[in-house]
Amino acid sequence: MAILNTFKDLIVWQKAHEMVIAVYKITNEYPKHELFSLTSQTRRAAVSVPANIVEGFRRQGLRDRINFYNIADSSLEELKYRLILAKDLLYINEINYSLVMQKCEETGRLLTRWIQSQKSFLN
């Protein structure tokens, strides 16, 4: 088993970070009138995913850590909705939507496995 010295060693964090970069790139294309609403909300939801992974990584108690990982998972679901909305409003095209959703799905799968692995230590 690999030793995890920092949150940057977590593959789930690495993928979540890549996802945030992709979200920032596509939200640059949103209309300017959305800057303080959908653009900002989408970016905040995206950033919340790796940020909560980081916070959970540093928590001492296992239940506390898992709580932050669950918050990251909830933020990911919020992000997915905001991306669906942006696509339906024609702020992003199907290709960019698909690309960023693939990153979301990959992050989600890794996060689910990470949470499950942490929960296994509760038993």
Residue 45 inside a domain? The answer is yes
Distance CA 27, CA 14 (A): 20
**If you average pLDDT over every residue of the chain, what do you get?**
95
pLDDT digits (tens, 9 = 90+) for 55-76: 999 999 999 999 999 999 999 9
Residue 88 inside a domain? The answer is yes
First to last CA, the chain: 19
- pLDDT interval class at 122 (50, 70, 90): confident
Distance CA 12, CA 110 (A): 5
pLDDT digits (tens, 9 = 90+) for 6-61: 999 999 999 999 999 999 999 999 999 999 999 999 999 999 999 999 999 999 99
For CA atoms 51, 54, 56, 58, give the dihedral sign.
Answer: negative
Distance CA 17, CA 123 (A): 30
User: Which CATH number goes with the domain that contains 20?
Assistant: 1.20.1440.60
Domain that holds residue 53: 11-122
Q: Where are the alpha helices (DSSP H) in 28-121?
A: 40-58, 62-88, 94-119
pLDDT at 92 over 80: yes
